[in-house]
Structure 1
Amino acid sequence: MSSLADRQAALVAALTSGAPVPAGFDGRMVEIARVALLRKRAGEVAGQWPALSAALGTDWLREWSAWAETRPTNGSLRDGWDFARDLLSRDALPREAGAELASREAALRYDGKTSPRARRLPAIRSAAGTVALQILGRVRVLYRN
């Protein structure tokens, strides 16, 4: 028999990372809770990344859920950033969301593993046809395709 901590960790993994439902839990109820948590995460990410969620429109929840269902959360800012980068890598980032990603990339350093940190030096970044420039902490969108 496993410890309570092991059972709790297995349940959390089933709810957030797509792991199998642990023995002794109702699979249907775990699935209902998992979907509710994905919807909650989608709403939180949409609050941090409004242009991205608006650009995806009615596809937002479906696209987000497909991407997030096997990934535990890193917080809504980082989750949205990772999702936007994934869309960009697949050439699926909507142009309307390009300025949002390019501006974040210019203003902050984010390696995909640790929390984003403010850039100290000037930076120029592009995403989905948009170019953003950061100098002295101010970000300007220079070009939108």
Structure 2
Amino acid sequence: MTGSDLAARQAALVAALVAAGPLPPGFTAGPVDAARRALLRKRGGEVARHWPLLAAGLGPDWPAVFADWAAGRPGSGGLRDGWDLARALRDRGVLPPVAAEELALREATVHYDGRRHPRPRRLPAVRRAGGAVAVQLAGRVRLLRPARR
């Protein structure tokens, strides 16, 4: 086996594990599926460290909600994955109130367009998420209206 063959097989295995790619030849579905689920749990834990109120707001549903959302999506890191998930839940109208506050505060202080790495905002900003309104002025952030609980 050449180096390029090995690299292609490794890429196919990674795609099957993290991006819902087809099962590569020579691998059994059971162990690959178990490894995929374990990687999703680990990734969900990393997201929960960056977005604790999102995870807490979803409570016991957190692992399933995250796994459903993340299945088939390559990871972007805990901060960005959590941000993308929070926005997706907000857009569907199912973002828990405490997570709406977390999202509004984060979006008032940091700019994230969904493609590039987040970066601090320099100008004043007002952001709203699920009933929560956050204002950032001169580097200070205030939650003007908490989300309804």
**TM-score, scaled to structure 1:** 0.97
Matched, 1:14 2:16: yes
Gaps of 5+ in 2: none
Q: Which runs of 4+ in 1 moved over 2 A?
A: none
Q: What residue is the counterpart of 2:73 in the other structure?
A: 71
Give secondary structure in 1 for the equivalent of 2:69: helix
Aligned residue among 30, 33, 46 for 1:31: 33
Q: What residue is the counterpart of 1:100 in the other structure?
A: 102
CA distance in structure 2 between the aligned counterparts of 1:77 and 1:61, rounded to whole angstroms: 16
Gaps of 5+ in 1: none
Which amino acid in the other structure matches residue 137 of structure 1? G
Q: What residue is the counterpart of 1:128 in the other structure?
A: 130
Which amino acid in the other structure matches residue 60 of structure 2? T
CA distance in structure 1 between the aligned counterparts of 2:138 and 2:22, rounded to whole angstroms: 48
Aligned residue among 103, 108, 111 for 1:109: 111
CA distance in structure 2 between the aligned counterparts of 1:110 and 1:126, rounded to whole angstroms: 14
Q: What residue is the counterpart of 2:86 in the other structure?
A: 84
Higher mean C-alpha displacement, 120-129 vs 135-144: 135-144
Which amino acid in the other structure matches residue 10 of structure 1? A
What value does the CA root-mean-square deviation take over the aligned residues? 1.1
Give secondary structure in 1 for the equivalent of 2:20: coil
Give secondary structure in 2 for the equivalent of 1:3: helix
**TM-score, scaled to structure 2:** 0.94
Q: CA deviation at 1:26?
A: 1.6
Give secondary structure in 2 for the equivalent of 1:85: helix
Aligned residue among 121, 126, 145 for 1:119: 121
How many residues matched?
145
Q: What residue is the counterpart of 1:56 in the other structure?
A: 58
